[in-house]
Structure 1
Amino acid sequence: MPEKLSGVAAEAVDSSPASLAAPPPRLAQALSEAHQEARDALTLSDPVKAVHGVRKGFKRLRALLRLAGTAREREVADLARASRRALAAIARHLAQARDMAAREDALDDLVAKAGLSPAARRAASRAFAPATASAPDGGVGTHRAALDAEMAALAQALPRLGAALDDKALLAALATFYARARRAGREVDPRDDESLHELRKEVVAQRYQMELVISAWPALGELWVDQLQRLRDKLGKHHDLAVLRALAEAHPVRADGRPLWHAQLLAAIDARREKLAHSALLLHARLFAEKPRAFRRRLSAYMSPVSERK
């Protein structure tokens, strides 16, 4: 048996786990991926897809920045909150192109699920069409300088924000926002559009935050995120219909009264919204049945190194 190890073998022996590069914290990796997602969307040639991609990336970033906002270091927490507010302000400027697409999707949904006639759908679409066409860039080009500046500023802040929470602090933050989403659903008034909209915000945040722990138990984690996405979609459709109803109510009345499609549209909206609110709250009750302490204990078990042993 040789007394000396070959160079390759010696290097393998000397390479202890401590000498290997540690993986980035969960939050740091997620923030970096979300930031890149938004940057990639800015390069898309299709204006509608660009706006959709940027807004999606921003929502993911804002959900993660909520977590970073719980950091013990005051300066880091303030930086996270300021970054989240800046992203929200830019996202509002990009809403026009998305709102137009959402209105058309809502009308299609009413035809498919609430019995709105195709003729009424076409009449409503014509009535709500803007007087002038939107800018060709759909809003991205107009705000490109602000978007680039915010992306650059956030890129500089990412190292500090990503290192803000270790796994223990991350677990506590996830449990905190789970409790918020759970409480929002239990206190919501299904007849109040604003309270359902606030619930939707909490669910959106929870949906992106829970992606951080999918790797701890992929089969269950992916299912959980999929169901949160279903809940988000239901609440999103409800919100789009609420916006559509407000638009219909504000539509000018002609001298000879409201057109026939108007009453048909409102009836279809009300029927569809009631079903969506009912099914969304049933799904919420199932997803958030667990008490926050039990939720935290379960996630802790998933994230524990002991649970990963083979």
Structure 2
Amino acid sequence: MGYKLRPQDPVAEVRKVARQRIDKAIEALSVPAAERAEGVHQARKRFKELRALLRLVRKPLGAEFKRENQRLRDLGRALAESRDATAMLESWDLLSARFPKLFAEAGFKQIRRRLQARARQGEGDATNLDARIAQAINELSNASACIDSWPLSAEGFELLAAGVERTYADGCAELAKVRLEPSDEQLHEWRKRVKDHWYQTRLLTPSWPTLMQLRSDSLKRLADLLGDDHDLAMMQQLMQAQPPLFGDQSLRERLDRVIVQRRGEMQREALALGNEIYLEAPRDLVARWQRYWETAEV
């Protein structure tokens, strides 16, 4: 049950992949309580994959796009609370791997223990999580029941072309804004569009597996860089909001210096990679992908 659209019947493929992602999200949300944090994490990934699929067929979907996209967005937000503290701990460990000597100091180990306790508390205290999970499963079942009625009337690559062009063009536009103003907010907006393009590249990999997989791998690297950068930005915000969590002023200053250093490294790499990925004009990329699709072996 891969996240792929095969060229032989795109309308049927879109419906099939949508059902598969919904089924996997429901499966992830149905795990035992001890595995719930990871289950929520996996379900939210499926929501993002579904939203990228919806953006791929946004034009033929018409008004249905807004309804289904909003449904999935709201479900993701409702479940985000139980994940945030765990993500912060993971971000700490990635930063520790970059600066192992510094993070081996007693003061930094104490900070990690506090972040770990915070993550455990977040997993246990997420308000009404059982009820929110039950509501999410119900909404996903309703969404699945609507799939057969989606107005997907275009044929061949025309079903997908407008969605490919818009998503890629949005990524180009957000990258241009980042070049002018690399703020936390703007980098995060670019990351969201990068992830959409990555998901859509994955979906269309069967049209030309070698080239599309190479692009998918590059986009995954770019999305990871921007995601890790965003997590460190959130750590800086948390450090300002809750200073005692990060020790005394000296520890916080030293931590902030290495965060700034690491974010600079990742942003430079992300911009260099983004300049390569988003070099092509949107219409040229769509025309090239359409050739892949039309000459693919089915």
What is the CA distance between 1:286 and its match in structure 2?
0.9
Give the partner amino acid of 1:109: L
2:80 is aligned with 1:95: yes
How far, CA to CA, are the matches of 2:9 and 2:278 in structure 1?
Answer: 34
Name whichever of 276-285 and 156-165 sits farther off.
156-165
Matches within 5 A, 1:261-276: 261-276=251-266
What is the CA distance between 1:253 and its match in structure 2?
6.3
Q: Which residue does the alignment assign to 1:32? A: 19
| Larger-Rg structure | 1
Matches within 5 A, 1:290-309: 290-304=280-294, 307-308=295-296
How far, CA to CA, are the matches of 2:287 and 2:98 in structure 1?
Answer: 40
Any conservation in 1 of the 2:184–2:230 contact (CA below 8 Å)?
A: yes
| CA distances 1:137-196 after superposition (whole Å, capped 9, x unpaired) | 967523122112211111111123373553213122211211111221122146300000
Q: CA RMSD in A?
A: 2.6
What is the CA distance between 1:210 and its match in structure 2?
1.6
2:121 is aligned with 1:133: yes
Q: Which residue does the alignment assign to 1:218? A: 209
Any conservation in 2 of the 1:37–1:54 contact (CA below 8 Å)?
A: yes
Any conservation in 1 of the 2:26–2:140 contact (CA below 8 Å)?
A: yes
Q: Which residue does the alignment assign to 2:187? A: 196
How far, CA to CA, are the matches of 2:21 and 2:122 in structure 1?
Answer: 28
Give the partner amino acid of 2:103: S
Name whichever of 214-223 and 25-34 sits farther off.
25-34
Any conservation in 2 of the 1:26–1:212 contact (CA below 8 Å)?
A: no
SS of structure 2 residue aligned to 1:25: helix
Q: Which residue does the alignment assign to 1:280? A: 270
Give the partner amino acid of 1:105: E
Q: Which residue of 77, 80, 103 maps to 2:62?
A: 77
Q: Which residue does the alignment assign to 1:61? A: 50
Give the partner amino acid of 1:67: L
SS of structure 2 residue aligned to 1:237: helix
Q: Which residue does the alignment assign to 1:124? A: 111
What is the CA distance between 1:219 and its match in structure 2?
1.2
What is the CA distance between 1:130 and its match in structure 2?
3.4
How far, CA to CA, are the matches of 2:119 and 2:103 in structure 1?
Answer: 24
Q: Which runs of 5 or more residues in structure 1 are unaligned?
A: 1-20
How far, CA to CA, are the matches of 1:78 and 1:218 in structure 2?
Answer: 33
Q: Which residue does the alignment assign to 2:152? A: 163
What is the CA distance between 1:39 and its match in structure 2?
1.8
How far, CA to CA, are the matches of 1:148 and 1:173 in structure 2?
Answer: 28
Q: CA 1:206–1:303 in structure 2 vs 1: closer, same or farther (change >3 Å)?
A: same
Any conservation in 1 of the 2:171–2:190 contact (CA below 8 Å)?
A: yes
Give the partner amino acid of 1:95: A
Name whichever of 116-125 and 272-281 sits farther off.
116-125
What is the CA distance between 1:285 and its match in structure 2?
0.9
2:235 is aligned with 1:250: no
How far, CA to CA, are the matches of 1:207 and 1:27 in structure 2?
Answer: 17
How far, CA to CA, are the matches of 1:131 and 1:220 in structure 2?
Answer: 40
Any conservation in 1 of the 2:83–2:123 contact (CA below 8 Å)?
A: no
Name whichever of 217-226 and 30-39 sits farther off.
30-39
How far, CA to CA, are the matches of 1:33 and 1:220 in structure 2?
Answer: 25
Q: What TM-score comes out, normalization by structure 2 length? A: 0.85
SS of structure 2 residue aligned to 1:289: coil
Q: Which residue does the alignment assign to 1:179? A: 169
Q: Which residue does the alignment assign to 1:18? A: none
Higher relative contact order, chain-length normalized (CA < 8 Å, sep 6+): 2
SS of structure 2 residue aligned to 1:290: coil
How many residues are matched? Answer: 282
Q: CA 1:162–1:38 in structure 2 vs 1: closer, same or farther (change >3 Å)?
A: farther
Q: What TM-score comes out, normalization by structure 1 length? A: 0.82
SS of structure 2 residue aligned to 1:134: helix
How far, CA to CA, are the matches of 1:195 and 1:181 in structure 2?
Answer: 11
